[in-house]
Amino acid sequence: MNHIIGIGDYAITSHAEDTLETYALASCVGVTVYSPAKKVAGMMHIALPNDFGIKEDILRPGYYATVGIPLLIKEMQYKYGCFKNELDIQIFGGALSIRENDFFNIGAKNLEMIKKIFLYTGVNYKLTDVGGYMSRTIKMDAATGAIKIYTQPIKI
Q: Active-site positions?
A: 28
**Sign of the torsion angle spanned by Cα atoms 135, 122, 59, 78:** positive
As a whole number of angstroms, the distance between CA 125 and CA 104 comes to 25
As a whole number of angstroms, the distance between CA 48 and CA 115 comes to 14
Q: Specify whether the CB–CB gap between 41 and 57 falls below 8 A.
A: no
Residue 106's closest CA among 120, 87, 114? 114
In this structure, the chain runs to a length of 156
Burial of 58 (0-12, 13-18, 19+ CB in 10 A): exposed
**Single-letter residue type at 4:** I
